[in-house]
Chains A and B, each alone.
Chain A
Amino acid sequence: MAEKTIRVATDVGGTFTDLVCFETDHATGQSRIITAKSDTTPPNFEQGVLNVLEKAAIDPKTVDFLAHGTTVVINALTERKGVKVGLITTEGFRDTLEIARGNRPDFFNLHYVKPEVFVPRYLRRELPGRMNYKGEELQPLDLAPLRAILDDFRADGVEAVAICFLHSYANPAHEQAALSEVRRLWPGISAVSSHQITREWREYERTNTAVMSAYVQPAAERYLGRLNDGLKDRGFDGNLFIMQSNCGVDSLDSVSKIPITMVESGPASGFWGAAELGKLIGERNVLALDIGGTTAKCSLIEDGKVRIMTDYWIERDRTSAGYPIMVPVVDLVEIGNGGGSIAWVDEFGKLHVGPKSAGAMPGPAAYGRGGTSPTTTDANLWLGRINRDYFCGGSVIADMAAAEKALSDVGAKLGASPSDVARGIIRIANNNMVNALKLVSLNRGHDPRDFTLVAFGGGGAMHAVALGAELGVKKVVIPAGAAVFSAWGMMMSDLRRDFFVTKLAELRAGGGNAVEALFAETEAVALQQFGEEEVDASKVKFLRYGKFRYQNQEHTTEVLIEGVISDARLAEIEAAFHETYEREYTYRLDAPVELVGIHLVASAEVGKLTMRHKEPTGAEAEVASKGEREVDYALEGVHKAAIYDGEKLEPGMTFSGPAVIEDPGTTIVIHPGNRVEVDGFGNIHINLKA
């Protein structure tokens, strides 16, 4: 056995491809950590991954475990860089995709523009054949027209085929037959049918999901294939895992078939990291916040568990209906507020922050690259929260004149000084983020005071304490390596699949067995899939969630069910539902409860990282001191803050705010009265004033 285990995580972002490597020595249990960054290389993204490995001087031959996250799928969707898709659907329903749900979120706007469909009408074709909602065949599938349809698709330059039939969630036989016939008639064509991705009802959502998966499939398959080949050529023979939107990783083969499951893999790894970190430090209830350059994302973790849902949409906001993608995605709220968000004044003299971002080019005014609008980062610099002499870890000389000019320009419109404007920007940005955090907590029936705020990403630590105080949390934790925390999360991930199956069942005699059978059947499918990837059944763990509602309701509440389900246990399960429901919605009903479907989580550990605790050295925090400077804490006024070098902080060190911790990737703002403690893993714990 080797003396070391080498785990690598790579993350392809819009601008940079990041790498984090943990080299764990078996004898000591200690890890050496290497990080590296290189440019992202569109359209051959795999090249960036190979480059960053080279840059970090990591020999692929020595790597045991490689996890990979990528924005390739989401970018292909948002930049409309997928392929021409042909859709085959049930007779009478070719317009489902175009009708969508008919909603107009921007409802006073008489010039609202409905999102354009991904498949034009002439490429949406129908086949006769019908199932009902119970999965019974009403009319057999007629495959005879398929040959002519595919001929038309070929002639029209279609590169991928999506199939979605009515009620395929209940019985996929027609979709399976059509898919195999497509493959027979058109060998080599990229094709996907909706039941392979989801077994839930709602035909528009499922059709759109199949279409979007087909749309990105050829590019994603090619990309993953080349990445695999490139690594193999360099001698890599370890396990390659791809990060998924459900916070798990999956094998390359499996992801290549349904690449749409990667759509939110970036945020998912960070939130998983937060959940794992919480377990490590004994904080099982976590509010996780990831602030990047353009957006802030947040998610709630209860009792160490992330919440996975299939109600995911892209490009959906107050002005657009967006597009649904019915795949398991970590429950997150995203807002257009990041370090690069631009502050602006509307025609009526109101100050706003975001959602427009200065991006990497020109970036914040203080980058000195021609940006003339003040951003959240400029405000943080101006108020002394970010060290103007150590901007971007010392790699950029802050152009304070440009920042001042930008803040003054906005100030002129408001009749306010640059400092007033900067404080206003911070407060508004914080309020936007607080509202997002409330959406995932209060809005779902959770009291934030029972949670610990874990903040990461480049900007998380700058705002976390103010947000935590506003929400009333007792403690804020900034993880070690907050700027590359997502990559760490990937290394902590399990091989994981979430199965959502729609099936109605009433909680009365016979119901228990039916529900048990559904779980058992789905678990068998999961075991078979894992088996095909040589994961032993003994390593697979299941979590069973029932999706319940009061009869006649639509939206469901998930309840975790442990053990074998029988009629005898129905009362207990029902009681658990009533309790969960009441917590979330303040009341319960004396109405029949029914099961609408199940959510089965199947996971297997695939050699994730074990973190080793370091003992306190006994050194005092003063050794990390970099002096003092004046910091403007907005509502709490200007204070002389102690400045600490994050790289010199050791486990066991303690100190109090006002303070600022600086390390190359992030700046942690500690408010007056906060008590700081560094734990055995290098995480910063900030206890807020009671």
Chain B
Amino acid sequence: MTSVSHDPITLEIIQNSLQATADEMFAAMRKTAMSSIIYEVLDMGTGITDATGRLASSGAGIPGFIGVLDKSVKVLLEKFNKPGDIEPGDVFITNDPYYGGVTHLNDLVVAMPVFADGRIIAWTANIAHNSDVGGKSPGSLSADATEIFQEGLRLPAIKMIARGEPIPAVFDIITVNSRMPDFIEGDLWAAIASVRIGARRLAELAEKYGVSTFEAAMDSFMNFGEKVTRAELAKQPHGTFELTEEQDDGRFFNVKVTISDDEFVIDLRDNPAQDEGPSNACRDDTLVSMQVIFKALTDPASPANEGSFRPLKVLTTKGTCFHAREPAAVGFYYEIGIRAYDLVWRCLAPHMPHKLPAGHFSSIAGTFIGGIHPDTGRQYTIIEPQIGGWGASAGRDGNSAIFSGVHGETYNCPAEISEARNGLIVDRMELNTDAGGEGKWSGGHGIRIDYRIRRDDSFLTLGYTRSRILPWSLDGGNEGTPNYALVMRKDGSNERYAFGSGIKVDTNDVIRIITGTGGGLGDPKERDPTSVADDIRNGYISPERARQVHGYVG
């Protein structure tokens, strides 16, 4: 601690400030967004990269978005590689996974370079799900899309603000292509405000401490991330672990994980060819899903940066569902991502029982309901991921009703707000207590929501997995329960769905959303009778079922 400029305390202070900046960017965007998927559900993320696009710090939000932004910035740097291509005040946008967008077209990535001493020293960036970017279906996601062209406007890593001046053509193209132009414009400006605020803070930091110290702090932060990860890797069981798992649609997914002191290799090469429909992920997104489970296994407590992921290697084969080739449709990429994430989790759970609970409902369960608001006459669209039950771990029952492993600091929508904004009626929103998931430690409960439609010609689009192949259990516990939706027609008929788009629903039809209970752990007969008695008293299990699975005799 001799030199004032590079001493560890100064570096630590800059690192804290990077974290505070990423959080401030997150707060700014949340407060100004127009779509409830952003401000309420918080389907968004913020991050800071160094000059070369390496992730230095990330804001709160969704773990599945944290590794996205660095990949986008890297693509921008490759594309805008001539002197003068990138200037102070510029803001860039991309949404196309074949051009640095990583996920699907609804997710707009906005990035801004930060300049000091006449050169780029960092980038601020964010990503958020926009309500509608055009394409063949409202909300832009369609279960029957076969090419990305059908999924909306493609923005292949372009400049939208030059030296602080918005490029009107870009904004015009974006708004004219959306069914909800006011929303996309409002959300886009929220994103721009967020990167600008972040860039201003970083420039202040660099000015205060000097560019070289600022850059040294980012470097040391990443090196620290790597050090923590490697230390944890050394403690893990070494060897190769493999799992093949059947999917709802009858295909089989395979993973081989090889862990050593230096590397954590996830091999997804031996998997089915890319889907004709939209259930595909680009390689970058598969990489992000793997980063999420890797981080959970190695260092869940500290914020992620590039260093955290250095020991991770992911192998894929081009043209498979985990490494789609242009122009494959990718709208439902997230269900593929979470399948890969859960596959690694399930593969390793028997070998790392203290780190990994039994399987959870494990689906984004993306639900889209839209139509004309009966009171305002304006178009509304619900876009929401669902909450569900988590698996049991040794010594503890699973959580009920929280978001899946690739979501995080996201919030469900209150019934009171949903009824006002969307003009439907939420008949109930309660725990799903269908039988399943019991064990010595039981899985947490999913939910049951009934949306009663108030106007004809409304629609439902959805894409759930774990609807046939159930949340998996451990050590003799019971499997969990499925995710699905029922359309309960006013004539009394019911239709069950896991995937579907543009399903027509009319006045007094009820859309019932059911999410699964997590898997149990250990023999249900070994469950403490006092806990079983509590379960019965609380109505989490029926007395008959308790007798049957727990052998309860109270």
Contacts and interface: CB of A to CB of B under 8 A. Distances in A.
Interface of A: 91-96, 98-114, 120-122, 132-134, 138, 166-167, 169, 201-205, 347-348, 350-351, 416, 420, 423-424, 427-428, 431-432, 435, 438-439, 442-443, 504, 550-555, 585-587, 589, 591, 635
B370 interface: no
A105 B539 CA distance: 28
Interface in B176-209: 182-183, 185-186, 189-190, 192-193, 196-197, 201
Contact of B20 (A100, A103, A133, A438): A438
Interface in B14-60: 16-17, 20, 24, 27-28, 30-36, 39-40, 42, 60
A587 B183 contact: no
A550 B405 contact: no
B355 interface: yes
A591 B33 CA distance: 13
B63 A107 contact: yes
B281 interface: no
Interface stretch (B112-120, B132-140, B270-278, B294-302): B294-302
A321 B410 CA distance: 11
B249 interface: no
B32 A555 contact: yes
B44 to A, nearest CB: 13
Nearest to A349: B8
A436 to B, nearest CB: 9
Contacts of A99: 387, 400-401, 412, 429-431, 447
Instruction: Give 10 nearest A-B pairs by CB, closest first.
Output: A107-B408, A92-B428, A102-B387, A108-B300, A121-B538, A133-B420, A95-B430, A109-B300, A99-B401, A101-B411
A382 to B, nearest CB: 15
Contacts of A553: 32-34, 39, 186
B417 A102 contact: no
B337 to A, nearest CB: 15
A350 B15 CA distance: 12
Nearest to A584: B31
A92 B538 contact: no
B402 A555 contact: no
B355 A110 contact: yes
B459 interface: no
Nearest to B36: A554
A416 B60 CA distance: 34
B186 A552 contact: yes
Given A110-B356, A133-B416, A586 B387 contact: no
Contact of B192 (A133, A347, A587): A587
A205 B63 CA distance: 25
**By CB atoms of chain A within 10 A, which of B32, B34, B196 has the most?**
B32
Nearest to B356: A110
Nearest to B61: A107
A204 B227 CA distance: 41
A93 B36 contact: no
Contacts of B540: 121
B473 to A, nearest CB: 16
- The interface centre, meaning the residue of B182, B400, B403, B416 with most chain A CB atoms within 10 A of its CB, is B416
B228 interface: yes
Nearest to B32: A585
A591 B538 contact: no
B32 A114 contact: no
B9 interface: yes
B20 A435 contact: yes
Interface in B212-255: 224, 227-228, 231
B431 A204 contact: no
A432 B20 CA distance: 10
B282 to A, nearest CB: 23
Given A99-B412, A109-B300, A201-B416, A104 B402 contact: yes
Contacts of B190: 585
30 contacts: A92-B430, A93-B429, A99-B412, A102-B402, A102-B411, A103-B403, A103-B411, A107-B60, A107-B63, A108-B63, A109-B301, A110-B356, A110-B357, A111-B396, A113-B396, A114-B399, A166-B415, A167-B416, A351-B9, A420-B1, A424-B9, A428-B13, A431-B17, A504-B420, A555-B30, A585-B190, A585-B193, A586-B193, A587-B189, A589-B185
B528 interface: no
A443 B30 CA distance: 12
B62 interface: yes
Contact of A92 (B30, B450, B539): B450
A399 B62 CA distance: 48
B12 A351 contact: yes
B145 to A, nearest CB: 26
Contacts of A432: 16
A589 B411 contact: no
A203 B414 contact: yes
B159 interface: no
A110 B404 CA distance: 10
B436 to A, nearest CB: 17
A169 B537 CA distance: 32
A553 B39 CA distance: 8
Contacts of B295: 108
Contacts of A586: 193, 196-197
Contact of A102 (B1, B20, B401, B420): B401
B527 interface: no
A202 B417 contact: yes
B357 A111 contact: yes
A241 B296 CA distance: 51
Interface string B360-380: 000000000000000100000
A166 B420 CA distance: 12
A104 B24 CA distance: 19
A555 B27 CA distance: 11
Given A201-B417, A443-B24, A585-B28, A104 B403 contact: yes
A91 B415 CA distance: 13
B169 interface: no
